[in-house]
Chains A and B, each alone.
Chain A
Amino acid sequence: MRITANDVEHVAKLSRLYLSEEEKENYTQTLNSILEYMEILNRVDTCEVEPTAHVLPLKNVFREDKLHKCLDRELALANAPEEEDGCFKVPRII
């Protein structure tokens, strides 16, 4: 086993997901078989290889520091499940 039910629970917590017992079992099993398949990557010698995070040779794309048209506050809030005084409203934090 590469990943136990406890690991799945921990990862679910990091991912902000609640899992039922049934889901926990399903994910423990499927994630294990996926991670097992990934072991074949260990056959590849990558000691001298640079990682590729991105294929384009682009770096630090800047633009002029000028004001652009942006979304109206009203439009930006139009999809909010809850809003108040022009802000997104969320449940108690502290």
Chain B
Amino acid sequence: MHERREGEINLSLTGLTAHELCELLRNREISSVELTRAHLERINTLEDKIRAFVTVTADLALSQAKETDAKRLRGEELPPLAGIPVALKDNMCTKGIKTTCGSKILYNFIPPYDAAVAEKLNEAGAILVGKCNMDEYAMGSSTENSGFYPTRNPYDFNAVPGGSSGGSAAAVAAGESVIALGSDTGGSIRQPAAFCGVIGLKPTYGAVSRYGLVAYASSLDQIGPFSKDVTDCALALNVIAGHDPKDSTSAPVDVPDYTKFLVNDIKGMKIGMPREYTGQGIDPEVNVCLRQAAARLEELGAVCEEVSLPHTEYALPAYYIIAPAEASSNLARYDGVQYGLRVEGDDIISMYSKTRSQGFGEEVKRRIMLGTYALSSGYYDAYYLKALKVRTLVKQDFDKAFEKYDCLLTPTTPSVAFNFGDKINDPLAMYLSDVCTIPVNLAGIPAMSMPFGMVKGRPVGIQLIGRAFDEGTLLRVGYALEQNSDLTRPRPELKGVM
């Protein structure tokens, strides 16, 4: 090992990607313990300001790291992410580790089993450094709905990190974790990825097992990775994707080696640019970045053309009927009987009602009521059934576009990260921040957000949308853009903290 100053090592290690770190680990230039310590120290330094985590699993991480080092010393063959620090959104069950879903109603819940993705990361040798903050029950776009505290954006502490997986995005952006998993029901991976300047991929519905993921809206929820670059995204997807008999909505399809798509060649690729995603409500400066990205892709040999997805504006209202309807049913289980908070009452109904009233936050109650209303007798056809029909039309728009285009390119969000307090008192304004990401969930197709440029010191995210089970094309286009542009890897300065 060559000589380096302790501080220097830590600073540089937390800035590296998983594939860079894997190589350093393999060549024994660093140890897993050293790498884990660097991340835990970084968490120690930054958490006062950023608050990306609900739980930091320092002891567990260090003991896992020691074990990995011992195995490496013995010359054992190690799995792909051996020694790499990762974090999980706190709605993924971890055996023996508190899993709150960002809610007071689950403040003390310790799952008796691991989510499929937690098990897979563990088998892949990853080191769990903690569980990430989120909007309660994944309902929100800023982490301001967390039952505990909001997470701050590493680029600007006055700005939200996005949500609902805001903790996961901020943790990766700030170098507190190399990779993190989030969940995406209407944009909850891609929107915070855009706001925090990292890669965030929502896989095809059914590509990743939801076993052990606390359900929000079951027909839309999907788990996916946050990473610092496209290569790490492919590595993480390799680990978590695949059929799982324990999730009956998991798709029985073969999983390719996603790193095979990381080729620096997109000549002749046809990319559609839906005009509905760049019109009214989209910050013109975001559109400038999008056009720059398109121009770069064209220079690399792709063809970018305008396309129309005419039902786009109806996706958001349809989503806010379907998702709350599913949530109202899914969240019926939080009643103070089996786990979590219980507030005593005179009889069982008052125990249920008191527990739920004190345990759930404002937005969760709003969506439970909205969903209950949309499903209630007399309103079912007008709201719920209507929304399901509109969902068909939204999906057909994409099907039609993909007859001609290999993938689509849009902004991920209408604007860069907004400030705390800007939208929290106006639910509809908050909902509209997911206007570019929601249609993708209704159609069940994959999409990836990647950084491309900055506006007023805050990262801009662009979104690549693909055909069902064609994550490969998104990785390929993203990789080519990353290899040929210096606008895709922003770094937060973390002024006043580092």
Q: Please determine whether chains A and B interact with each other in the same assembly.
A: yes
Q: How far, in Å, is A51 (CB) from chain B's closest CB?
A: 3
Interface size class on chain A is 35 or more
Q: Does B22 contact A (CB under 8 A)?
A: no
- The answer to whether B313 and A40 touch across the interface, beta carbons within 8 angstroms, is yes
Q: Does A1 contact B (CB under 8 A)?
A: no
Contacts of B244-293 to chain A: CB distance below 8 A: 245, 248-249, 251
Q: Taking A3-B373, A27-B365, A44-B311 as contacts, is the C-beta distance between A55 and B389 under 8 angstroms?
A: no
- The answer to whether B369 and A17 touch across the interface, beta carbons within 8 angstroms, is yes
What B residues does A61 contact at CB under 8 A?
248-249
What B residues does A88 contact at CB under 8 A?
337-338
| Cα distance, A78 to B369, chains bound together (Å) | 31
Interface size class on chain B is 35 or more
Q: How far, in Å, is B281 (CB) from chain A's closest CB?
A: 13
Residue of B with least CB distance to A81: B342
- The answer to whether B368 and A17 touch across the interface, beta carbons within 8 angstroms, is yes
Within 8 Å by CB of A30, from B349, B427, B444, lies B427
Within 8 Å by CB of A46, from B251, B354, B389, lies B389
- The answer to whether B369 and A27 touch across the interface, beta carbons within 8 angstroms, is yes
| Cα distance, A56 to B393, chains bound together (Å) | 16
Q: Does B347 contact A (CB under 8 A)?
A: yes
| Cα distance, A42 to B328, chains bound together (Å) | 23
Q: Taking A37-B428, A41-B314 as contacts, is the C-beta distance between A15 and B368 under 8 angstroms?
A: yes
Q: How far, in Å, is A2 (CB) from chain B's closest CB?
A: 10
- The answer to whether A51 and B388 touch across the interface, beta carbons within 8 angstroms, is yes
Task: Report B433-444 CB contacts with A as 1/0, cut-off 8 Å.
Answer: 000000000111
Mark B residues whose CB is within 8 Å of A. 108-110, 112-113, 205-206, 219, 245, 248-249, 251, 311, 313-314, 317-318, 320-321, 328, 332, 335-342, 344-349, 351-354, 356-357, 360, 362, 365-366, 368-370, 372-373, 376, 383, 385-393, 395, 427-428, 431, 442-444, 468
The 8 closest A-B pairs by CB, nearest first: A55-B444, A51-B388, A79-B339, A81-B342, A46-B389, A75-B112, A61-B248, A49-B389
